[in-house]
């Protein structure tokens, strides 16, 4: 594989950039693999990469119904953070932060990781207390957290509404300075390129039709491009989890919902942090191109539509304008939607299943993108060793049965209602 | 924008409604021995079908009644609505 560097750039410039290697191949599926990963999104590609890199398992196929990186990794708001209170979430996410910091070097691909910091705004004394508690929990787990008062927030984001007569005045905020954003497509492409180089087959336009299960064991998968045998199969299909679960006769603590995001027209640099509104669900950052990248609530009802509905967008942007009134002057450039695998406690599932050789990675709700490296790393471990790693031990499938929920936001089973 | 025909009030916009999830889930009967798995299925596990889906909505800003709606989760087409006490046929 050609290494991407300033030298290779200059060298290829001399031949009009016509001689670059393909970033990944387009192989015909083999009859059998050691491991098949279903879903060529960020998590699936990362899983294949870590299977090859950390566990030396390279006889691996990634099966993708469409094209790689075409799902949620290509349609998120690129926020990366580890500002969680519960140990299971905090340690998992902070492990991921370390992988993010090294990712561009590890993958020899510029993922444009930008640790610009995230501020969660507080709009009441009670919320400040909650943030102080969460910040302290984070610091006990080695994650940076700074509690900001109103004046400190005003210094960092003076464009927010600090006038006296607002419905939700800004009391302060909780900042994680090391949080940030990254170029989402580059993450998928970087993992794909390295995985391909280590021998992983990336098979696109290949839909899963069914599974070959006998005597409680998985033997393979039936696809639109023929049957593929494998003793180990990992599901990384996010919003399509319920569809594949049905083919496996499994009913999961997951509902599929639609989440929208949007960007404004590009404007000059105005916001160098990720900011979230504390009195509703709205978050914003500014991309390198200058667009304001915004998102918020789910549309609120089960959906596989991958396109949104205007009432929710209006609701979300009303919150945005309440927080930063200048947004009302901007024109909308693009809106889009993706389907989320909403788990019943708001935390993900990375676990084995009752079918031997079948592994499950789902339930990422709003937070799948930031988890890409840690999810891939722990899922690869779970598949390779046939046991969960301590980092994903809390993300078990049976926690709903035993009552060990990871309800980070205290939303319980109705995560979509908040 | 979805338009939902409330069986009590007629056609209204989705802004008047709130969502209540899968309408086919039945609470385990009282006074009977109920396994953990039964509770798990009632409280957490959902099929979340792609295609025709019976679901509960509440006409919150209208008559405040709960209703049943059959909607396609991929196209948002609404086929039927029923009063809460009417059985899904």
Residue contact B46–A310, C-beta within 8 A? no
Fold of B3-26+41-83: Folate-binding fold (3.30.2270)
Chain mean pLDDT for chain A: 95
What one-character DSSP code corresponds to residue A255?
E
Q: What is the pLDDT of residues A346-382, one digit of tens each?
A: 999 999 999 999 999 999 998 999 999 999 999 999 9
Q: Do residues B76 and A308 touch, judged by C-beta distance below 8 A?
A: no
Min Cα separation A311/chain B (Å): 7
Q: What is the pLDDT of residues B17-46, one digit of tens each?
A: 999 999 999 999 989 999 999 999 999 999
The model carries a pTM of 0.96
Distance from C-alpha of A257 to C-alpha of A319, rounded to nearest angstrom: 21
Min Cα separation B45/chain A (Å): 4
Q: Does B61 touch chain A (CB under 8 A)?
A: no
Min Cα separation A115/chain B (Å): 36
pLDDT of residue A418: 47
Q: Does A143 touch chain B (CB under 8 A)?
A: no
Q: What are the residue boundaries of the structural domains of chain B, listed by start?
A: 3-26+41-83
Determine which of A301, A337, A363 to mutate to test the interface with B (most B C-beta atoms within 10 Å): A301
Angle A28-A32-A35 from CA coordinates, rounded to 5°: 100
Q: What is the pLDDT of residues A305-317, one digit of tens each?
A: 988 899 999 999 9
Predicted confidence band at A202 (pLDDT cuts at 50, 70, 90)? very high
Query: In sequence order, which residues have a C-beta less than 8 Å from that of residue A376 and are 6 or more positions away?
Result: A42, A43, A44, A45, A46, A47, A48, A49, A50, A191
Give the ipTM of the model, two decimals please: 0.95
Question: Minimal CA–CA distance to B43: which of A345, A407, A340?
Answer: A345
Q: Does A36 touch chain B (CB under 8 A)?
A: no
């Amino acid at each position: 594989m050609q290494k991407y560097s300033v030298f290779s750039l200059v060298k290829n410039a001399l031949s009009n950039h016509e001689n670059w290697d393909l970033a990944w191949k387009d192989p015909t599926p083999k009859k059998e693999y050691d491991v098949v990963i279903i879903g060529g999104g960020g998590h699936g590609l990362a899983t294949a990469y870590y299977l090859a890199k950390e566990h030396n398992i390279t006889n691996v196929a990634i099966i993708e119904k469409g094209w790689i990186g075409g799902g949620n990794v290509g349609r998120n708001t690129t926020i990366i953070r580890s500002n969680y209170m519960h140990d299971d979430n905090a340690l998992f996410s902070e492990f991921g932060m370390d992988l993010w910091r090294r990712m561009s070097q590890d993958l020899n691909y510029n993922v444009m990781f930008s640790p610009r910091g995230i501020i969660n705004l507080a709009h009441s004394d009670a919320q400040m207390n909650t943030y102080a508690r969460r910040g302290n929990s984070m610091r006990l787990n080695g994650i940076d957290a700074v509690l900001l008062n109103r004046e400190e927030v005003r210094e960092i984001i003076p464009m927010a509404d600090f006038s006296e007569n607002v419905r939700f005045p800004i009391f302060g905020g909780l900042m994680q300075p090391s949080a940030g954003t990254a170029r989402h497509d580059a993450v998928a492409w970087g993992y794909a390129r390295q995985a391909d180089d280590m021998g992983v087959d990336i098979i696109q336009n290949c839909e899963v039709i069914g599974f070959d299960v006998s005597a409680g064991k998985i033997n393979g998968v039936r696809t639109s491009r023929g049957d593929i045998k494998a003793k180990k199969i990992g599901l990384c299909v996010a919003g399509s989890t319920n569809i594949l679960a049905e083919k496996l006769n499994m009913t999961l603590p997951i509902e599929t919902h639609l989440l929208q995001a949007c960007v404004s027209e590009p404007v000059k640099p105005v916001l160098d942090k990720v900011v979230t509104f504390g009195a509703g669900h709205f978050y914003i950052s500014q991309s390198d191109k200058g667009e304001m990248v915004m998102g918020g609530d789910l549309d609120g009802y089960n959906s596989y539509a991958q396109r949104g509905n205007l009432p929710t967008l209006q609701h979300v942007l009303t919150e945005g304008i309440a927080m930063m009134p200048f947004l009302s002057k901007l024109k909308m450039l693009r809106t889009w939607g993706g389907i989320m695998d909403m788990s019943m406690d708001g935390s993900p599932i990375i676990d084995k299943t009752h079918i031997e050789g079948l592994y499950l990675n789902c339930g990422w709700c709003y937070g799948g993108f930031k988890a890409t490296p840690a999810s891939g790393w722990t899922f690869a471990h779970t598949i390779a060793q046939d046991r969960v790693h301590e980092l994903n031990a809390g993300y078990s499938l049976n926690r709903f049965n035993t009552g060990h929920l990871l309800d980070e936001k205290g939303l319980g089973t109705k995560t979509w209602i908040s | 924008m979805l338009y939902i025909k409330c069986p009590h009030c007629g056609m209204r916009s989705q802004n008047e409604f709130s969502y209540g999830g899968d309408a086919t889930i039945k609470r385990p009967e009282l006074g009977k021995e109920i396994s953990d798995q039964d509770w798990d299925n009632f409280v957490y596990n959902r099929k979340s079908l792609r295609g025709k889906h019976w679901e509960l909505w509440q006409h919150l800003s209208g008559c405040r009644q709960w209703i049943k709606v059959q909607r396609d989760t991929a196209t948002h087409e609404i086929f039927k609505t029923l009063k809460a006490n009417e059985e899904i046929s």
